[in-house]
A and B are shown apart, each in its own frame.
Chain A
Amino acid sequence: MGNKLRAAIIGPGNIGTDLLMKAMRSDWIEPVWMVGIEESEGIKRARDFGMKTSVSGVDGLLPHVQEDDIRIAFDATSAYVHAENSRKLNALGIIMIDLTPAAIGPFCIPPVNLKSHAKAVEMNVNMVTCGGQATIPMVAAVSRVQAVDYGEIIATVASKSVGPGTRMNIDEFTRTTAAGVERVGGAKEGKAIIVINPAEPPLIMRDTVHCLTESEPDQEAITHSIHQMVAEVQKYVPGYKLVNGPVFDGKRVSVFLEVEGLGDYLPKYAGNLDIMTAAALRTAEMFAEEAANGKITLPLIA
């Protein structure tokens, strides 16, 4: 118990609530606060789960940070308010896990680069996008075997799982994901496409990852690397499934995936949202584990 990092979740919407339910099961994270900007269903739910709540934003949390020993915070609000939230909480020594597209801190795809962020004690890490969490591990699985000239991902998600924030700024998804394919996936050039499908019953998130390798792909090594990476992601998203591939066609390497969520608060088809909350929690847990094992020292709370 004593090793658990105490956490706040900002944003009591669908994502924040799903994250809360996952965090309550964690061996490393203890959620304590839920922060909203008004009384809402989400705040009420969090209270029912025994959380302390703020309905005046992060400002309502600040006076309690020290006595409640809050060391880490998840931001599931929007890019617009994240910068301010991050500034206020970082100033007190709280590490921010950013689930918004703000991308102030470095991108974090847990099985690819989380360890290095934890070692460096990054004060703000960004979880890229849902499509990025689902696909960038596969690009990295290829690029760690041999150079990838071009990486392209296509994420198809159920209409019901795409919130108004994403819809109003869908370009942010394509840009941020493509940047993640390059910076974390290791492709020289990245491209991202998102397709929204309204079918009923809603379809489970599916993703296609194409890579063009610089030289002829080493089929055996890439296949092995991909299977290993799938197993890594399955540690925190059990419903992450390799449906077909890798398919090799000249220098093209293609992988077809399906991501089913755990169905904590969000429905199972919304694997795109589940993989975000699961990856964010995995990230926080890594900081906690490394700190508990004495490998890193977390900032003191001011």
Chain B
Amino acid sequence: MNLKNAKVTLHDMSLRDGMHAKMHQISLDEMVSVATGLDEAGMPLIEVTHGDGLGGTSLNYGFPAHSDEEYLRAVIPVMKNAKVSALLLPGIGTVDHLRMAHDCGVTTIRVATHCTEADVSQQHITLAAEMGMDTVGFLMMAHMISAEEILQQALLMESYGANCLYCTDSAGYMLPDEVTEKIGLLRAGVKPETEIGFHGHHNLGMGIANSLAAVEAGASRIDGSVAGLGAGAGNTPLEVLVAVLDRMDAETGIDLFKIMDVAEDLVVPMMDQPIRLDRDALTLGYAGVYSSFLLFAQRAEKKYGVSARDLLVELGRRRTVGGQEDMIEDLALTMSKDRAALELA
């Protein structure tokens, strides 16, 4: 694989996707210290907010330690070079949240929909583009449909005004060949000036390999997270990706040793549990399930005595999508009732 001189914009997820792994409890001090470390290491883009994006605060996904606005107002003013992005899932967040984020100084907005539902993003993408923001269309659970179908959905987002389109492997299910095909078709099918991005999860250990495949196929923005802090087995660990890209002579503009130190000295000590490919995280990747379901399934296992793996496999079989966290407790209740009925019989 030849990525020599490829220009790659890395985008850190530890303070947004990482909120899932921290049950949305990252403190303001931790946010500021990690973001500052990343800024000094040369990270160009840093995402901040609730794990489920703007307006994600809820019983369903978890109440955060602080509001989106508090996080954004704490981090943005101290950034020297890094820009701060925010995620918005229509159906959860609204244009009111988008305006608030813009007012806080967010310059990149990423409007995320399930990969088949791009048309719910029209009002948000249109407004963000009108406000002059770097506007990203973010197609989640992209493993569930074909490359051709993803292109059709991406073209809708492009037509609303998105200047960058993401193929998002929310379940960490994709293998490199699939990434190559999907990113390649996107690159060939959208306007030449529109950027392509890839967001991976490490549930099958493919974060780095998939990211390299994406760059080779034409992606110029790659998401990852320092120390991998993210949902499931985490996102593509950025310090590792930086080292690999460095060895391949690709250009990230990031200081490897500095980002290694942020990972080791700041982020790892913050973790509530090691971010690793445990049995349940592996099940996410194997069964194609939304990564943030992990801790909810593990909690349901403790409360209702149904195995998290069984829950996740069934959620995959039912083709659940991002945002359906409420289904986990519901399913655990049903499975434990069914089991009780079996034991009686």
Chain A residues with CB under 8 Å of chain B are 150, 152, 154, 156, 159, 164, 167-171, 173-175, 191, 193-199, 203, 206, 208, 210, 212, 243-245, 247, 252, 254, 256
Cβ-defined contact, A159 with B117, below 8 A: yes
User: Once the chains bind, are B319 and A197 in contact (CB under 8 Å)?
Assistant: yes
Check if A167 sits within 8 Å of B321, measured CB to CB.
Answer: no
B319 to A199, Cβ gap below 8 A?
Answer: yes
Contacts of A199 in B (CB 8 A): 318-319
A171 touches B334 (CB 8 A): no
Of B73-81, B86-94, B211-219, the one with at least 4 CB within 8 A of chain A: B86-94
- Is B340 an interface residue when CB atoms closer than 8 A count as contact? no
B139 CB, nearest partner CB in chain A, Å: 12
Beyond A171-B96, A198-B116, A244-B330, 14 additional contacts (C-beta under 8 Å) are: A152-B58, A154-B60, A156-B327, A159-B116, A174-B94, A195-B322, A195-B323, A196-B120, A199-B318, A206-B327, A208-B330, A243-B330, A247-B333, A256-B330
Q: Please state if A152 and B60 are interface contacts (CB–CB under 8 Å).
A: yes
Separation of A203 and B317 alpha carbons in the complex (Å): 13
B330, chain A: closest CB distance, angstroms: 4
For the complex, give the distance between the alpha carbons of A152 and B61 in Å: 11
Cβ-defined contact, B90 with A210, below 8 A = no
Q: In chain A, what residue has the closest Cβ to B334?
A: A244
Binary contact readout B86-110 vs A (1 if CB under 8 angstroms, 0 otherwise): 0000111011100000000000000
Q: Is the beta-carbon distance between A170 and B323 smaller than 8 angstroms? A: no
Nearest residue in B to A254 (C-beta to C-beta)? B329
Q: What band does the interface of chain B fall in when counting residues whose beta carbon is under 8 Å from A?
A: 20 to 34
- Some 21 contacts from A to B, beta carbons below 8 A apart, are A152-B58, A167-B120, A167-B122, A168-B122, A168-B123, A170-B91, A170-B120, A174-B91, A193-B60, A195-B321, A195-B322, A195-B323, A196-B321, A208-B326, A208-B330, A244-B329, A244-B333, A245-B333, A254-B329, A256-B326, A256-B329
> With A and B bound together, what is the CA distance between A212 and B63 in angstroms?
13
Q: Write out the residue numbers on chain A whose beta carbons fall within 8 Å of the beta carbon of B318.
A: 199, 203
Chain B contacts with A in 144-166, Cβ cutoff 8 A: none
Verify A198–B117 contact, CB threshold 8 A.
yes
Roughly how many angstroms separate A243 CA and B334 CA in the complex, as a whole number?
8
Q: Which residues of B does A touch, CB under 8 Å?
A: 58-60, 90-92, 94-96, 114, 116-117, 119-120, 122-123, 318-324, 326-327, 329-330, 333-334, 337
Known interface pairs A159-B117, A243-B330, A247-B333; A212-B59 also in contact (CB < 8 Å): yes
Q: Which residue among A164, A167, A168, A199 has the maximum number of chain B CB atoms within 10 Å of its CB?
A: A167
Chain A residues whose C-beta falls within 8 Å of the C-beta of B119 in the assembled complex: 164, 167-168
Q: Top 8 A-B pairs ranked by shortest CB distance? A: A208-B326, A199-B319, A171-B94, A244-B333, A195-B323, A256-B330, A210-B59, A194-B91
Looking at the assembled complex, report how far the CB atom of A36 sits from the nearest CB atom of chain B, in whole angstroms.
24
A171 and B123 contact, CB distance less than 8 A: yes
CB distance from A61 to the nearest CB of B (A): 32
Asked whether, in the complex, the Cβ of A210 is within 8 Å of the Cβ of B94, the reply is no
Q: In the complex, A296 Cα to B326 Cα: how many Å?
A: 43
Task: Contact check, B330 vs A170: say whether CB atoms are below 8 A apart.
Answer: no
CA distance A168 to B156 in the complex (A): 12
Q: What residues on B are CB-neighbors of A208 within 8 Å? A: 60, 326, 330
Task: Determine the distance from Cα of A243 to Cα of B332 in the docked complex, in whole angstroms.
Answer: 12
Known: A195-B321, A197-B321. A154 touches B326 (CB 8 A): yes
On chain B, the residues within 8 Å of A212 by CB distance are 59
Interchain CB contact under 8 A, A196 and B114:
yes
Residues of B within 8 A of A244 (CB): 329-330, 333-334, 337
Residue of B nearest to A249 (CB): B303
Q: Are B91 and A193 in contact (CB under 8 A)?
A: yes
Which of A156, A169, A193, A194 is in CB contact (< 8 Å) with B123?
A169
With a CB–CB cut-off of 8 A, which chain A residues contact B117?
159, 167, 196, 198
**Chain B residues within an 8 Å CB radius of A206:** 327, 330
| Closest partner residue, chain B, to A244 (CB atom) | B333
The CA of A245 and the CA of B96, in the complex, are separated in Å by 33
- The answer to whether residues A170 and B59 also contact, given A196-B117, A198-B114, A198-B116 and a CB cut-off of 8 A, is no
CB-CB under 8 A from A197, the residues of chain B are 114, 319-321, 324
Most buried by B among A152, A168, A171: A171
Check A252 against B324 for contact (C-beta < 8 Å).
no
Task: Considering the complex, give the chain B residue whose CB is closest to the CB of A152.
Answer: B59
Report how far A256 CA is from B330 CA in the complex, Å. Answer: 6
**A137–B334 alpha-carbon span in the complex (Å):** 23
